[in-house]
A = this chain, B = another copy of it.
Amino acid sequence: MKAGIIGATGYSGIELVRLLHFHPNVDLVKIISNSKNGEEISEVFPHLSNIFQLELSTLDIDELAKGVDLIFLAVPSGISKKILPVFMEKEIKCVDLSGDFRLKNPEDYEKWYGGRTADKHYLTQATYGLSEIFKEDIRNAHYIANPGCYPTAALLGLIPALKNGIIDKDSIIIDGKSGASGAGRKAATATLFAEINENVKAYKLGKHQHIPEIEQILGKVSSEIINITFTTHLLPITRGIMCTMYTKLQGTTSEEKVIDLYKAFYEETEFIRIRDAGRIPAIKEVSGSNYCDIGFAIDERTGTLVIVSCIDNILKGAAGQAIQNMNLMMGWDESLGLTAAPSYP
């Protein structure tokens, strides 16, 4: 199968290049970058020297559509909504890593992203690609709205508890912590090394565009209206997200029972690892992999179930899950090209 990437020189884009190059069923034939048009990818990213050679080119939608079977859109939100509909019209499979096709309620998009959302005709064609939760939908999809990084970690950690009714739906607090690569490769003062290093910043409190995305999916799986409290923090690490989530238990349970419930829920999946009682995952334990590791602690004094969920934001939180969704769409094993273990230390 022939694939192309629009936005190949961002952090998610260059990970897609690496993953697709090694993918056994895919031939990566087109990599688009308007800013680096004409340059060899391995000149821009020397870590790929001797590994992958291809010239970056500017976006010519017609030409691209003729040359590939599937396209990854690794472009900022606001751009996809203009491009993806064109490929939909041409019936080219797409995985969109931006936020443009995730929110199904146009008012949500306008409030949290600003600007108009994509036309409803196109919006409804994009399937939300949280692989483990919507596997069947994804298998039948042609167009994927790939989830945000925080929503991936948060939703995979919350959904089994919420669907099984063991937590109070109105009690959910998500303390999100992300590495700086999540801010992208755009030149900016706020993400300079000297600003991030030896620092932690809380940002966009109550205003992060991933709030409606998480609420939409929690609402969908529980058939209830759910409001969450969500706080994000920028950490001095390159890769990785940890969501520490606080929920009120409904009734009595134990860490062991919660763990059993989660293990059963995710039994058929490849990339969710549930920690045993007393073990909490750390970011480094998933770095470089497509895994989502989840651990639990119950504070009986306050009736609180604390859920800790970790992912590599560029892999399971972006490029890795995009590949996983491609695999599902194509009817392949979902782990194809994604079997790399985390590396430690």
A-to-B contact residues, CB < 8 Å: 11, 14-15, 18, 21-22, 45-52, 170, 173, 175, 177, 179-181, 185-189, 191-203, 205-206, 227-229, 231, 233, 235-240, 242, 244, 246, 273, 275, 279-289, 291, 293, 295, 297-299, 301-302, 304, 306, 308, 339-345
Contacts and interface: CB of A to CB of B under 8 A. Distances in A.
B233 A244 contact: yes
Nearest to A192: B191
A278 to B, nearest CB: 9
A192 B193 contact: yes
A306 B231 contact: yes
Nearest to A296: B205
Contacts of A242: 200, 202, 233
Contact of A343 (B18, B170, B233, B304): B18
A181 B196 CA distance: 11
B47 A284 contact: yes
A108 to B, nearest CB: 13
A264 B202 CA distance: 25
A242 B291 CA distance: 28
A229 to B, nearest CB: 5
B185 A192 contact: yes
B201 A280 contact: yes
B231 A244 contact: yes
A193 to B, nearest CB: 4
A203 B280 CA distance: 8
Contact of A189 (B187, B273, B339): B187
B306 A229 contact: yes
B46 A293 contact: yes
A246 to B, nearest CB: 5
Contacts of A299: 205-206, 229
A200 B246 contact: no
A195 B235 contact: no
Contact of A344 (B14, B289, B304): B14
Nearest to A175: B175
A273 B295 CA distance: 36
A119 B92 CA distance: 63
Given A199-B283, A244-B175, A244-B202, A46 B275 contact: yes
A235 B238 contact: no
Nearest to A288: B343
